[in-house]
Amino acid sequence: MRNVLLLILIVGTIIMTGCSYEYAKEDGYRMAVINEGFPIPKNAYELKPEDCTNVIAKSAKYKLKDIGDEEGTPPQDYLDEIERWGWTELEDKRVGHVHYFEKEGKVMSLIIQQNVFDVFEMSDELEL
């Protein structure tokens, strides 16, 4: 009986370790909850989003280990994936670790921090 319990404990630990929220290109991407056309890493864990303002129509906040470094630099693979989904980065509008992307008249903002990132769908009132 003791051996069975030990085996269950070991298997459970292995399963739980495989469910970590860590950035890995190989895990793939899924649609953001606020915009079905904007990708986020598949294993990102959704947190309570920031409040919307007159320039932010929708917001989502995610936790994901290794999504950004101390300066808020996102993985290049993630930026490449955003472009593959049809978004164009507005590089001249970038401010520090705040990235803006445009697609079909919609503007999304991506703010990367160490282990956390925010995605904002900007309102139509925003003038870039």
14-45 pLDDT tens trace: 444 444 565 666 678 999 989 999 999 999 99
The pLDDT tens digits of the residues spanning 68-79 come to 888 888 899 999
The structural domains of the chain, with segments of one domain joined by +, span: 2-122
- Nearest Cα residue to 63 out of 117, 121, 25: 117
CB 41 within 8 Å of CB 66: no
CA distance 68 to 23: 9
The two structure tokens encoding residue 52: 């919307």
Kindly compute the dihedral angle of the four CA atoms of residues 87, 93, 99, 105, in this order, to the nearest 10 degrees: -30
CA distance 85 to 118: 18
CA distance 54 to 40: 24
Confidence of residue 128 (pLDDT cuts 50, 70, 90): low
Q: How far is the CA of 20 from the CAs of 16, 23, 120, 122, in angstroms? A: 7, 9, 25, 30
**pLDDT of 96:** 85
